[in-house]
């Protein structure tokens, strides 16, 4: 069964690469040192420091495998691949809800989501409602809380 391709902005893809590099070099070296120190305490069968270091090692290696898979199946969205005239991954969008509230969102791939920073997935209810639209369009957002109507005030391509 083929693994699912996931879309990323250039910034999001670079974060994966940077984390993988950190885990393979710096973090592995730190864990190696932790294991070395724990072995110096003697009997490994009752050595909690050794057990903790082994747990850290297992988590690190697991995350490395996960990142390698994500990178292998990544599709990087570039400005050339996205129309400059419509909202797509990599767009920063300002919308106005019917009650007059304005919100600004960055449309990103599903693994780059950070709602506290306004980064929403292209697959989220808001993101999927905005994809393919342009300034002035009225969009209908179908969320668990019900349908909401909003107008696209503006959008721009994020240059990253």
In sequence order, which residues have a C-beta less than 8 Å from that of residue 11 and are 6 or more positions away? 112, 160
How far is residue 156's CA from residue 159's CA, in Å, rounded to a whole number? 9
**Each residue of 94-142: pLDDT tens digit?**
999 999 999 999 999 888 899 899 999 988 999 999 999 999 999 999 9
The answer on pLDDT for 158 being more than 60 is: yes
Q: Tally Cβ neighbours within 10 Å of residue 56.
A: 15
- Helix and strand numbers, DSSP H then E, in the chain: 4, 7
Contact 85, 156 (CB under 8 A): no
Task: Supply 25's token pair.
Answer: 């070099």
Residue 111 phi, psi dihedral angles, 5° rounding? -95, 5
Domains of the chain: 6-76 (1.10.287.180), 91-155 (3.10.50.30)
- Please name the residue ranges forming H helices in the chain: 10-22, 28-39, 48-72, 125-130
List, in sequence order, every residue forming a beta bridge with 108; answer none if it has no partner: 121
pLDDT, averaged across the chain: 88
- What pLDDT sits at residue 40? 84
The answer on pLDDT for 84 being more than 90 is: no
């Amino acid at each position: 069964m083929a693994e699912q391709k996931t879309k990323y902005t250039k910034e999001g893809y670079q974060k994966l690469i940077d984390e993988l590099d950190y885990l393979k070099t710096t973090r592995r070296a730190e864990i190696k040192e932790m294991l070395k120190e724990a072995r110096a305490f003697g009997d490994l069968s009752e050595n909690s420091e050794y057990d903790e270091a082994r747990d850290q090692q297992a988590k690190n290696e697991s995350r490395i495998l996960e990142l390698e898979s994500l990178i292998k199946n990544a599709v990087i969205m570039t400005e050339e691949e996205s129309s400059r005239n419509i909202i797509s991954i990599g767009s920063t969008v300002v919308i106005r809800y019917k009650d007059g509230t304005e919100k600004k969102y960055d449309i990103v791939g599903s693994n780059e989501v950070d709602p506290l920073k306004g980064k929403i997935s292209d697959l989220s209810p808001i993101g999927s409602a905005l994809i393919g639209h342009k300034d002035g369009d009225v969009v209908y957002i179908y969320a668990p809380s019900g349908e909401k109507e909003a107008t696209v005030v503006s959008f721009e391509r994020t240059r990253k």
